[in-house]
Amino acid sequence: MRLRIRRLRQQLGLALAASLVLVLPASVIGGAPGAGLAPPEPEFRFMRLAYGDNSQGGFGRFGGGRRGSWATDAPEAEQHFLQGVDRLTRLKVSHEFHAVQPLDEALFDAPFLYAVEVGRWYLDDEEAARLREYLLRGGFLMVDDFHGSQQWEGFMESMRRVFPDRDVVEIPDNHEVFHVLYDLDQKVQIPGVGALMSGRTYERDGVEPYWRGVFDDKGRLMVAINFNMDLGDAWEHADDPRYPQPLTALAYRFGINYVLYAMSH
Amino acid sequence: MPEWLLGHSPWAWRNGELAFARGWPLWLLVALLLVALALVAASLFWPRRAAGAQPLAFWRRAVLGVLQLLFFAILLVALWRPVLNVERIRDRENVVAVLMDDSGSMNALDDGAAATRREQAAQALGNGILPRIAASSELRLFAFSDRAAAVEDLAALPGGAPQTRIGEALRSVMQMASSVPLAAVVLVSDGAETGNTLSEADLAQLAASGVPVHTVGVGPEQFANDLELEQLELPRTAIAGETLRALLSIRHQRQGSTRVRVYDGSQLVATQEVKLNPEGGLTTARIDIPAGGPGLRDLRVQVDTAQDEARAANNTRRALVEVSDRRRSILYVEGEPRWEYKFIRRAAEEDRTLRLTSVVRATPNRYYRQGVGSAQELATGFPVTQAELFAFDAVVIGSLEAAALSTEQHQWLKEFVDRRGGSLLLLAGRDGLGDGGWGRVPVAQVLPAALPGGAVSYGARTSRVRPTSYGLESAIGHFDADPARNATAWQELPPLADIQTLGALKPGAIVLLEAQSGQRADPLLVTQRFGRGAAWMLATATTWRWQMRLPLADQRHEQFWQRLLHQLAAPAPAQVSLQATRGIHEDDAALVLEAEVLGEDFRPHDGVQLAVTAVAGDGTSVPAVVESSGAGDGRHEVRLQSAAAGLYRVELTASRDGKELARTLAHVRREDGVQEHFAAWQHRALLERVARETGGRYWKLDGLAQLPEAIRYSRAGMVERQTLDLWNIPLVFLLLASLKAGEWLLRRRWRRL
């Protein structure tokens, strides 16, 4: 009998504690949204472009899965980079992995797009038109990790389909994208980890790094092209003591500047 | 009922009071009526034994009883000598004033008429009516437009006066009542009042004089084939390059469509087909007009004249718009990088008339600024002086917690709305509105809703946007001039992804847009006036999805934000302003402009001298008088002594201690002979109201025969009381005879004679 009374007391105590938690104002216990509202979505999604690959027997199409060229360095690269964004800016970011195919309607829900290994990408006419529409509506594309003249041609073949009437030009040093937060006057080649381990900073014949871009009619940068460098590797290996910290820091700074530029221009 | 049957004039019956002249007590009459009732009942219902006779049915006896009782009742009432006490004017001792409308609208030759309205009226009155009035009273004839003037002959008026001020005319004639016995006033008019002189107070004043006004309506009550540009609304000022939105009201009875053309001087600047309301009445339309470059737009808006339209003068209205090259200046402060920030900026950049200065807090310590004028401007994320803040016309604040600003800055923001007359827009966000603590700072007082505290109010909810009726009246609610297409344009907008609950709306709040999610509708875009300015709240930060989800050619996102930003910034007054009370003064010689001269802090400053120069279109100077309001509020009135119609250029210079502070320019146009062409149909309701309020009667022009008799029984002027016997009128004898004859006929039919 005593045991039963003690149990009853324990149950009542737990119920009372639970009811207290329920009646406390939401602000006191951490801020649940108001009636009928789900928590707001994070403002920024790091969205990978899941393109079709051109290296499989000519120009193969996207075959699904996450092991195509588009998924290089994923998800560690963005995981590390977004932690830096979180720490260094006031931007509210999503830490989940996001990828989208060019013809997916969800493309238009993420105005920032990251495409890696674009020397191997392939966009057909429909996909190119979709990407062109995305960029002209206000989307921003950052391309990374492609090296040498052969990969440049691979990149440009699809890029010319996206913008047949726009030139790819060098981004001038005084452009806002290099100064929106950090003043990136130091144009240092950021190498891939493979090249770095072999004692070089470049791959193939891509000795010189280039920061190129495609601009819209108002002079706004729509496509930021990091040619002959690999920011993704610098982010991915930010926790690898063998990868030089100054290069990682610089890669973070470039990335953050791209994101802030994309969100303000 | 015919007058011979009633024995006296119908006007005696209408105006007289019934009474009993015998002086016997009324209770006796009632008692005798009861006795009569008893006798009749006893004679008909008392049980009798009549051999062989079948008694009459109950209802038949009841009918006979009613007839007998009515007979006795009329006899008994007649014994008490019922009379009609009436007042009527004494012959030859009173004055009757006749006012003939001499305005331009009375010159109209209406459809199918051989004579003008005034000629028709003069003919109708001269056709025996005025002589009959003159037989018992002295006639005084007046013509009136803006005031009444005595005339000899109503048929020989010049006509075409530029105004119709009925109230003024009646008041000036009523003043006669204090010196002569004025028995009645006869007002002959189409009622097309142009001077707003017949307010409730005006009518009460007229009624208080006790003189009945008999109104005689002239002209058709509507025009079958006419198109009239009844109203034209246009902003008085604009920024070079922007689009003006004109609101037109076209009155018509015809169907189909018409074309509206807008000219700036002689140059066609806009045209639009307007589909007329198939039920007739009023059709409203909006037409967009390019403001063009800086300078004066002397606009003429013209509705095409229909093929069989007789009145073309009422198809055109004019408006002046002062176009300046000053861009509307807006400050946007964002507390965190957000897509909404980017896309608002892009929309504003598309509009050359907007100057958006923005700052976003990129990191906890670094602000990224765009559109600033110097390296120091907004370096700390917000204006550091009141003057710096007041230099903007509108302020937009995004997801920035209120605590990021100092107490002083909060006070400036409140005064920015209240005193400076700017607009403040708060956007939704994690640190916006209630969640950012904006409900607990001084500026909360100006906001249109009491922001909730406590629970988080910002979150994700998919919802569609729907304009309210207020929103549809605003430029913000219009993607398309066609209502059906406009509704579709809103319905098909991509859904929003977030919402912030705003809390209880204040009494002055106006909801322009709602966010609809299922059956639930939340206020989305809300505003309220506060002081000289306005506060706005937008409960979302995902309108950028419209831009990304809609085709590149679709401009709805850009239009929404450009119109909203204009709506915010346009009403903000300048430090020194000069504006005519009306751009176009129609038939009004008093040209008045309002000037306001304030300092950088938007407070009136002492020791400011004002100089005004006014020049007519031909280059001649026009005298102008500047008068301070006397309230120390920096407001002044500028009056031009304009001698003629035309365009006047007025320049105001403000200086202190010999140093020029500011110079501003305004234009005003005086046009004569305009108002009489508009709303020129007969306003019968107005004429009936004047007659009703004063104790007179409304008369049609073809039904004036009873007017002289009605005037004879007026209660104003020199009157005499008359007691008219009613017992001997033919109706009484006819009733008595009819009752007895009826009873006799019934008895004969029922074989009970």
Listed by number, the residues of chain B in 281-340 with a beta carbon closer than 8 Å to a beta carbon of chain A are 335-339
Question: For residues B81 and B12, what is the distance between their CA atoms, to the nearest angstrom?
Answer: 17
Interface test with B, best of A86, A109, A263, A265 (most B CBs within 10 A): A263
| Residue B52, pLDDT score | 61
| Residue A154, pLDDT score | 95
Nearest CB partner across the interface for B341, out of A39, A92, A264: A264
- Using the predicted structure, report yes or no on whether residue B20 has a pLDDT greater than 80: yes
- At residue B82, what are phi and psi to the nearest 5 degrees? -70, 140
Q: Where residue B589 falls among pLDDT bands split at 50, 70, 90?
A: confident
How many helices and strands (H and E) does chain A possess?
7, 9
- Taking residues B317-345, what's their average pLDDT? 96
Contacts of A260 in chain B (CB under 8 A): 337, 362, 368
Peptide bond into A191 cis (omega under 30): no
CB neighbour class for A231 (10 Å; exposed up to 12, middle 13-18, buried from 19) = buried
Nearest CB partner across the interface for A89, out of B363, B456, B460: B363
Cβ atoms within 10 A of the Cβ of B464, count?
16
CB proximity list for B287: less than 8 A, separation 6 or greater: B245, B246, B248, B260, B262, B270, B272, B301
| Residue A3, pLDDT score | 39
Nearest CB partner across the interface for B498, out of A40, A259, A263: A40
Instruction: Give the gap in angstroms from C-alpha A91 to the nearest C-alpha of chain B.
Output: 5
- The 10s digit of each residue's pLDDT in B30-47 is 999 999 999 988 888 877
Q: Does the CB of B341 have a partner CB in chain A at under 8 Å? A: yes
Helices (H), chain A: 2-23, 76-88, 125-137, 148-162, 193-197, 231-236, 245-262
User: Three-state SS for B192?
Assistant: coil
Instruction: Please indicate whether, in this complex, the C-beta atoms of A264 and B370 are within 8 angstroms of each other.
Output: yes
Question: For residues A259 and A113, what is the distance between their CA atoms, to the nearest angstrom?
Answer: 10
In one-letter notation, the amino acid at residue A196 is: L
Contact residues of A toward B, CB < 8 A? 25-27, 31-41, 43-44, 88-92, 108-109, 111, 133-134, 136-139, 180-181, 218, 259-260, 262-265
Instruction: Please indicate whether, in this complex, the C-beta atoms of A34 and B498 are within 8 angstroms of each other.
Output: no
**β-pair type (A140-146, A221-227):** parallel
- The 10s digit of each residue's pLDDT in B226-281 is 899 999 999 988 888 888 989 999 999 888 899 999 999 899 999 999 999 888 88
Interface test with B, best of A104, A264, A265 (most B CBs within 10 A): A264
Q: Does the CB of B499 have a partner CB in chain A at under 8 Å? A: yes
Q: Where residue B608 falls among pLDDT bands split at 50, 70, 90?
A: confident
State which residue of chain A sits closest to B336, comparing Cα positions. Answer: A90
Note if the pTM is more than 0.90.
no
Contacts of B436 in chain A (CB under 8 A): none
Instruction: Please indicate whether, in this complex, the C-beta atoms of B341 and A137 are within 8 angstroms of each other.
Output: no
User: How many angstroms separate the Cα of B358 from the Cα of each of A138, A177, B68, B330, B371?
Assistant: 18, 17, 98, 8, 6
| Residue B613, pLDDT score | 93
Tell how far CA B474 is from the center of its chain: 19
Q: In what order do the strands lie in the sheet with B17-20?
A: B17-20, B82-89, B719-725
| Residue B578, pLDDT score | 92
Tell how far CA B692 is from the center of its chain: 22
- Using the predicted structure, report yes or no on whether residue B4 has a pLDDT greater than 70: yes
Question: For residues B547 and A138, what is the distance between their CA atoms, to the nearest angstrom?
Answer: 8
- The 10s digit of each residue's pLDDT in B667-703 is 999 988 888 888 888 999 999 999 999 989 999 988 8
Question: For residues A141 and B736, what is the distance between their CA atoms, to the nearest angstrom?
Answer: 107
Instruction: Please indicate whether, in this complex, the C-beta atoms of A37 and B341 are within 8 angstroms of each other.
Output: no
Instruction: Give the gap in angstroms from C-alpha B435 to the nearest C-alpha of chain A.
Output: 10
Residue in this structure with the two tokens 């820091």, named with its chain if needed: A249
Tell me yes or no: is domain A5-12+41-54+64-264 CATH 3.30.565.10.
no
How much of chain B is helix, strand and coil, in % rounded to 5? 30, 35, 35
Q: Which helix (H) or strand (E) holds B133?
A: helix B129-136
Residue in this structure with the two tokens 């095409």, named with its chain if needed: B304
**How confident is the prediction along chain A (265 residues), in pLDDT tens digits per residue?**
343 444 444 444 444 344 433 333 333 333 445 667 899 999 999 999 999 988 643 333 444 444 689 999 999 999 999 999 999 999 999 999 999 999 999 999 999 999 999 999 999 999 999 999 999 999 999 999 999 999 999 999 999 999 999 999 999 999 999 999 999 998 899 999 999 999 999 999 999 999 999 999 999 999 999 999 999 999 999 999 999 999 999 999 999 999 999 999 9
Tell how far CA B619 is from the center of its chain: 38
Instruction: Give the gap in angstroms from C-alpha A172 to the nearest C-alpha of chain B.
Output: 19
| Residue A2, pLDDT score | 43
Residue in this structure with the two tokens 């329920």, named with its chain if needed: A22
Question: For residues A96 and A114, what is the distance between their CA atoms, to the nearest angstrom?
Answer: 15
Helices (H), A184-230: 193-197
Question: For residues B280 and B257, what is the distance between their CA atoms, to the nearest angstrom?
Answer: 11
Residue in this structure with the two tokens 């789900």, named with its chain if needed: A38
- A211: region left, alpha or beta (phi > 0 left; psi from -120 to 50 alpha): beta
Interface test with A, best of B333, B338, B558, B561 (most A CBs within 10 A): B338
What is the overall mean pLDDT for chain A?
A: 87
What is the overall mean pLDDT for chain B?
A: 91
HEC per residue, B376-416:
CCCCCCCCCCHHHHHCCCEEEECCCCHHHCCHHHHHHHHHH
| Residue B753, pLDDT score | 67
- The 10s digit of each residue's pLDDT in B278-303 is 888 899 988 999 999 999 999 999 99
| Residue A20, pLDDT score | 37
Contacts of B362 in chain A (CB under 8 A): 89-91, 180-181, 260
The answer to whether the beta carbons of residues B562 and B348 sit under 8 Å apart is yes
Instruction: Give the gap in angstroms from C-alpha B327 to the nearest C-alpha of chain A.
Output: 20
Residue in this structure with the two tokens 């009861």, named with its chain if needed: B34
